[in-house]
Structure 1
Amino acid sequence: GALRVLLGGFFALAGAAKLSPISAPASEQMKALFVQFAEVFPLKLFGYQPDPMNYQTAVGWLELLAGLLLLVGPPMLQEMSNLLLTLLMMGAIFTLAALKESLSTCIPAIVCLGLLLLLNVGQLLGQTKKVVRSSRKKIPGTFKESWER
């Protein structure tokens, strides 16, 4: 519950910040970052390098929408959002490593990835419990019916 709300809110805000020119210096700084990010884009190996502004906009929308779905979406969309954000954080860590950034620069992305994975495990455990509970209810009934025949 709380972790999902925290992460959903965080990513929604992070995405919104990438989409809106809040303050000029911060906006310029973010543009400069995405120029660097585009330089080490993983698909560059295959000849695809995104336009930095489009890249920033795409990441912004992805974070905003996935964050909102994580926050208020139905369970299936929450799981899909979690997966998308997990992949996004893996990409962020890859990008920062490719740029040879300091560990302190990578920490926010690593922490977010860790929390998303923790949330993933929590969701999986929740589903497993439901499956185990529902299968337990069925087994005794089936067993009992086979004796009554």
Structure 2
Amino acid sequence: MALGLRALRVLLGGFFALTGAAKLSEQISAPASQQMKALFVQFAEVFPLKVFGYQPDPMNYQEAVGWLELLAGLLLVLGPPMLREISNLLLTLLMMGALPALLQCPRSSD
């Protein structure tokens, strides 16, 4: 059981670290980077705090999410137990925050 949970932790941490790195650098995958740039323009349009007059710059928004995913993913894989718990919380909050943006973004016709 413990080995399975450890493997899941390493896989999820690696996934988040890789997706965070992809948001920060075009060297990992140029097509994915271009697609993410377009998505973050849409995400900025439906940002929850827009009703209060705050709309983030899409590139800064993408960079902030990328750093958070990269660091939290690395902590999930390599960190001590207390930092892994903090990483779990950060990634959970990040994904919960992404849901409204994904649900409100207009769908493309392709």
Q: Same fold (TM over 0.5)?
A: yes
Query: Which residue number in structure 2 is paired with residue 93 of structure 1?
Result: 99
- Work out whether 1:25 is the aligned partner of 2:49: no
What letter matches 1:64 in structure 2?
L
Q: Name the larger-Rg structure.
A: 1
Write the mapping of 1:55-74 to structure 2, written as runs, cut at 5 A: 55-74=61-80
Identical counterparts, % of pairs: 81
How far residue 101 of structure 1 moved from its aligned partner, in angstroms, is 4.9
Flag structure 1 segments of 5+ consecutive residues without an equivalent.
Answer: 103-149
How far residue 16 of structure 1 moved from its aligned partner, in angstroms, is 0.3
Query: Which residue number in structure 2 is paired with residue 34 of structure 1?
Result: 40
- Work out whether 1:80 is the aligned partner of 2:86: yes
CA-based RMSD of the aligned residues comes to 1.5
Query: Which residue number in structure 2 is paired with residue 12 of structure 1?
Result: 17
Query: Which residue number in structure 2 is paired with residue 2 of structure 1?
Result: 7
**Residue deviations 1:75-114 (CA, integer Å, cap 9, x gap):** 1110111101001111111111112559xxxxxxxxxxxx
Query: Which residue number in structure 2 is paired with residue 120 of structure 1?
Result: none
SS at match of 1:49: coil
How far residue 24 of structure 1 moved from its aligned partner, in angstroms, is 3.6
What letter matches 1:80 in structure 2?
I
Query: Which residue number in structure 2 is paired with residue 138 of structure 1?
Result: none
- Larger RCO: 1 or 2 (CA < 8 Å, sep 6+): 2
Flag structure 2 segments of 5+ consecutive residues without an equivalent.
Answer: 1-5
How far residue 27 of structure 1 moved from its aligned partner, in angstroms, is 2.1
TM-score by length of 1: 0.64
Give the aligned length: 102
Query: Which residue number in structure 2 is paired with residue 112 of structure 1?
Result: none
SS at match of 1:66: helix
Per residue, is there more helix in 1 or in 2? 1
